[in-house]
Structure 1
Amino acid sequence: MSDNMTNSTNCPEEKIISGILVAMYSIIFIGGVIGVIVMSFTLFKSNTRSVTTTAVINLIMVHGVFLLTIPFRIMYFVKNEWILGDPFCKIVSAMIHVHMYLSLLFYMITLVIRYLIYFKQKDKFEFYRKLHAVAASAAVWAVVVVVIFPLFFGQYGTSNTYNTSKCFHFQGEFNKLGVIILNYIVIALVFVMVCAFLCLQVCIIVGVVRKLQGPILAHQEFSAQMKSLFFVMVMVVCYLPYHMFRIYYLNHLSDCKIVMYNEICLSITAISCFDMLSFMVRSNYLKQWSVCTALRK
């Protein structure tokens, strides 16, 4: 067993942080499930040929698959012992990373489509037929299942011998220089892309505000851009903290507290499961505000 692994499993703060993680994942699970169910019924009546709707449907699927693994995370942090075997531990451990990057991908697809609609002055982008939307989604998932999953799971947790009664402690993988370099590349890419989307969205909103007259919340164009800003802020709040902390984490792997803090940062990425529920609440609020503004006129 590696020294990193030994230190992380005897960390004095482990019980306290485990309690925090149990509370966080419990809230995320409840809110995420409610959001997925409610949004699924809402999208059932939507135009399924819309590219944006297709991306959101896939995003819901990503959340749904990940939410299935959260009870196992809660069980582990409650018992502080893993009893379901090493292979399943790797699957549950890897799924939070898969969820994060797939969600990030579909957020970006959604934003790109919304920006194209804005700049090209179109109402929407649609697939020619519903079958095309299904085929596009199937192609993305086929790449994930057939290519990414086997590569990921084939290499994940193979560099060291780990304590099978513990889970989510695979920092021994960072003994490989290639793994460290890959992490820095991913961190840089995520930071640059998220910041680029944020800057672009702020510029668009400023341009819209300057163009509009009267109460801006009453305008559909402003409301549409606020929806895009919502997706950008999910990426900023949920994903940037983890990737920024990752830089410090990669240089302090021997510190047991850092390993547990990394788990907290990972749990923050799972808060993105609230996006559907938050999006619906915010959309309803803006609709009510627009109605009230219109009545005052």
Structure 2
Amino acid sequence: MLNFSKSVTMKEQTHPHLGWPVEFPIPTMDHYSSNFTNCSISDFKRTVYPIAYLLIFSLGLVGNLISLFFFTSSSFRRKASFSPVNILMLNLLLSDLMMVCSLPFRAAYYLMDYWAFGDITCRIMSYVFYINMYGSIYFLAVLSMVRFVAIVKPFTYVRLQNSRRAWVLCIIIWLIVSVASIPLLKAGTYVESNQTKCLDLRPSQVGTIIMLNRGVLFLGFVMPFVVISVCYIFAAFYLLKLRKTRQNQRSQFNHKKSCSLVIIVLLIFLACFMPYHVVRTLFLEAEMDIHNNGYVESCHYIESVRKAAVITHCLASGNSCLDPLLFFFIGENFISFWRQHTPRRQSCITDQNVKVLEKINNNDLDRRFRLV
């Protein structure tokens, strides 16, 4: 997305905030220009980002394409009939596919240390990243709410099984994140030291970016995280309560399945999104302090914050690899569809062998009943 060349003007050295990129609606930390005399992490970024992006691209592309294959299979459409849960998961994997397809451009950018893909592509990179991240956050939050209702209010859940409403909700989410990300399309490429660079933030925008970060932190992360956490806590208490009452195995299985989805969503938040948002906030505060007071802290601290920003940005991008797990293990009707269409080992059991096995099983059951 964004990178900065090794050559930095004296003005940039006295005003570190000049390196902040244009992102939705706050700068992405991996693109901050840390090319100052003593606190540069340029080599660290050029090493970590290409490896991380290409790994996420490989795993995410395979996982999401396999998921998309099952969704587009006509037999799966007939069997699953696109329930609200599967509709949400479909939109989630489409968002992830957009994200993983942008990663090779980012990896090439850091490897070459200049932008070679044109102005329009530069504008799209940050736009796609934040659409994916915050779109995924809201899709995951809604999934948790739907499964929570399935556990606590099963009859209400049955009444809510409306595919049209699910599609409308997904369209609303897409519109919100797409419109909110429009400012990213305003910043294109620029030339620095005879090299084409991508998406810088102008000094006049710094104050606005800090303010927007607080709003996005609450609306884009804290609020959905609270919703998912509450769903998990209440679902866990409800399942513990059910253990004290006798229920059939089918009902217990459905409740555990719904609770598993909430747990996986919560783990994705804890692993991918929480570190990114926490470190991003610390990063912005540190860079603002540098802008106001200079390098009061040691370079060790500044480098640590910037390296943490790089790592957590990779973790946030990695959600594209983890989201397909929801479909593979929790998606409605997926397991039965997989068993039905996955080639099994050739069996040498004949009809005569089947009859013998049935006879053995019946005799074994008779012996067990005699022992009781």
| 1:86–1:128 Cα change, 3 Å | closer
Query: In the alignment, which residue of structure 2 is the partner of 1:264?
Result: 311
CA distance in 2 between counterparts of 1:248 and 1:137 reads: 32
Query: In the alignment, which residue of structure 2 is the partner of 1:231?
Result: 265
Q: Secondary structure at the match of 2:286?
A: coil
TM-score, structure 2 as length reference: 0.64
Q: Runs of at least 4 residues of structure 1 off by over 6 A?
A: none
* Mapping 1:142-153, distance limit 5 Å: 142=175, 144-145=177-178, 147-153=179-185
* Mapping 1:155-166, distance limit 5 Å: 156=187, 163=192, 165-166=196-197
| 1:188–1:282 Cα change, 3 Å | same
CA distance in 2 between counterparts of 1:235 and 1:107 reads: 9
Selected match of 1:184 from 214, 232, 246: 214
8 Å CA contact 1:191–1:240 kept in 2: the answer is no
Query: Structure 2: any 5+ residue segments left out of the alignment?
Result: 1-8, 20-32, 291-298, 336-372
Is 2:90 the partner of 1:90? no
* Mapping 1:62-211, distance limit 5 Å: 62-122=95-155, 124=158, 125-127=160-162, 134=167, 137-138=170-171, 140-142=173-175, 144-145=177-178, 147-154=179-186, 156=187, 163=192, 165-167=196-198, 170=200, 172=202, 175-189=205-219, 190-211=221-242
CA distance in 1 between counterparts of 2:122 and 2:267 reads: 31
| 1:103–1:260 Cα change, 3 Å | same
CA distance in 2 between counterparts of 1:195 and 1:138 reads: 23
Query: Structure 1: any 5+ residue segments left out of the alignment?
Result: 288-297
8 Å CA contact 2:279–2:308 kept in 1: the answer is no
CA distance in 2 between counterparts of 1:52 and 1:27 reads: 28
Query: In the alignment, which residue of structure 1 is the partner of 2:284?
Result: 250
Q: CA deviation at 1:82?
A: 1.6
TM-score, structure 1 as length reference: 0.78
Is 2:34 the partner of 1:8? yes
Q: Secondary structure at the match of 2:196?
A: coil
Relative contact order higher in (CA < 8 Å, ≥ 6 apart): 1
Q: Secondary structure at the match of 1:176?
A: helix
Selected match of 1:25 from 44, 49, 53: 53
CA distance in 1 between counterparts of 2:130 and 2:83 reads: 28
Q: Secondary structure at the match of 2:34?
A: helix
Count of residues in Structure 1 that have an aligned counterpart in Structure 2: 278
Query: In the alignment, which residue of structure 2 is the partner of 1:37?
Result: 65
C-alpha RMSD over aligned residues: 3.4
8 Å CA contact 2:127–2:181 kept in 1: the answer is no
Percent identity, please: 17
8 Å CA contact 1:238–1:271 kept in 2: the answer is yes
Deviation larger for 253-262 or 99-108? 253-262
Deviation larger for 11-20 or 25-34? 11-20
Q: 1:150 is matched by which residue type in structure 2?
A: I
Deviations along 1:38-69, whole A, 9 cap, x unmatched?
11123341535422221111111111111111
| 1:86–1:113 Cα change, 3 Å | same
Q: Secondary structure at the match of 1:166?
A: strand
Deviation larger for 6-15 or 237-246? 6-15
Q: 2:161 is matched by which residue type in structure 1?
A: E
